[in-house]
Amino acid sequence: MTQIKLILLGAPGSGKGTQAKFITEKYNIPQISTGDLLRNAVKDQTEVGKKAKVFMDEGKLVPDKLVLELLEARLAEPDCEAGFILDGYPRNIAQATDLERITEIDLVINIEVDFNLLVERITGRRTCKTCGAIYHIIYSPPKRKALCNNCSGELYQRDDDTEETVKKRLKTYETQTKPLIEYFLKKGKLRTLVSDSTIDMMRLKVESLLKETFY
Ligand code: AP5
């Protein structure tokens, strides 16, 4: 099977994590979410986690050096040999150039969502504490209230998913991450998918783009 090295780019709440989970299942390549790596470090109270928490609570980017440390360690794991999906990395031009030093990327999928929908999507999100599955109280509700369909784990709302922090995160995206669209466009790697439809419709759009690109 072809090696797939993919970046999912998009604002907070655009659906990167949701689509990454489908791609992982279909293509058997790991989802590497720097947000998840950081949240695990915070939960485990590592040195990186303690430093990162301050920035995450403020809706700011964690310093590049700290994130790179986590990312490099993760990419060195054997399951990344067949490819990977980067979900939430890079987040600024400096991270994009750091990444180029480590590995080459085949495709960047930019998920575009109407700004007004993002706050609603994020504040309604619920995540499984055990397996990380993503739900939405309206758009993708669990079958049993507050319990994961896959593993019966408890669903929770992320600390940074409050309306106040979400607005700060969206501002950070506008100023620091959005310029990456132009950056990857110039490199001929970027394809944009507009997410104006259901989760399943988006999944079909992503699948068709991957088929077109890799097979
Ligand atoms: P991170 O965890 O990466 O969060 P994010 O980028 O803000 O993205 P989200 O996880 O909020 O959204 P998503 O696009 O994955 O959407 P989802 O699929 O869940 O980062 C958190 C923090 O960590 C950052 O603020 C920063 O501090 C730090 N950080 C992380 N990476 C960093 C880096 N590289 N450098 C520095 N700092 C870093 O979907 C959202 C909701 O919408 C869900 O409820 C879902 O069910 C629903 N939904 C999805 N698609 C649809 C659809 N088509 N229709 C209706 N609902 C939908």
Specify the pLDDT at position 1.
58
Tell me, yes or no, whether 60 lies in a domain: no
Supply the residue whose CA is at minimum distance from atom 49 of ligand 1. Answer: 15
Specify the pLDDT at position 214.
85
Measured from the Cα of 124, ligand 1's closest atom is 44
Tell me, yes or no, whether 174 lies in a domain: yes
Indicate if the pLDDT at residue 3 is higher than 90. Answer: no
Residue 172 CA to ligand 1 center (angstroms) comes to 13
What is the C-alpha separation between 185 and 61, in angstroms, rounded? 23
Name the percent of the chain lying above pLDDT 90.
94
Q: Which domain holds residue 149?
A: 4-29+82-214
Tens digit of pLDDT for each residue in 149-201?
999 999 999 999 998 999 999 999 999 999 999 999 999 999 999 998 999 99
Tell me, yes or no, whether 116 lies in a domain: yes
Domain count, the chain: 1
Tell me, yes or no, whether 62 lies in a domain: no
Tell me, yes or no, whether 64 lies in a domain: no
> Cis bond leading into 78, ω under 30°?
no
Residues with CB under 6 A from ligand 1: 10, 12-18, 33-35, 38, 55-56, 59-62, 67, 88-89, 91, 95, 121-122, 124-125, 134-136, 139-140, 160, 169, 195, 198-199, 202
Tens digit of pLDDT for each residue in 19-78?
999 999 999 999 999 999 999 999 999 999 999 999 999 999 999 999 999 999 999 999
Tell me, yes or no, whether 197 lies in a domain: yes
What is the C-alpha separation between 191 and 186, in angstroms, rounded? 11
Tens digit of pLDDT for each residue in 91-111?
999 999 999 999 999 999 999
Indicate if the pLDDT at residue 120 is higher than 80. Answer: yes
Pocket test for ligand 1, best of 93, 117, 122, 193 (most atoms within 8 A of CB): 122
What is the C-alpha separation between 178 and 194, in angstroms, rounded? 15
Tell me, yes or no, whether 121 lies in a domain: yes
Please report, for the domain that includes residue 183, its CATH number: 3.40.50.300
Tell me, yes or no, whether 56 lies in a domain: no
Q: The pTM is what?
A: 0.95
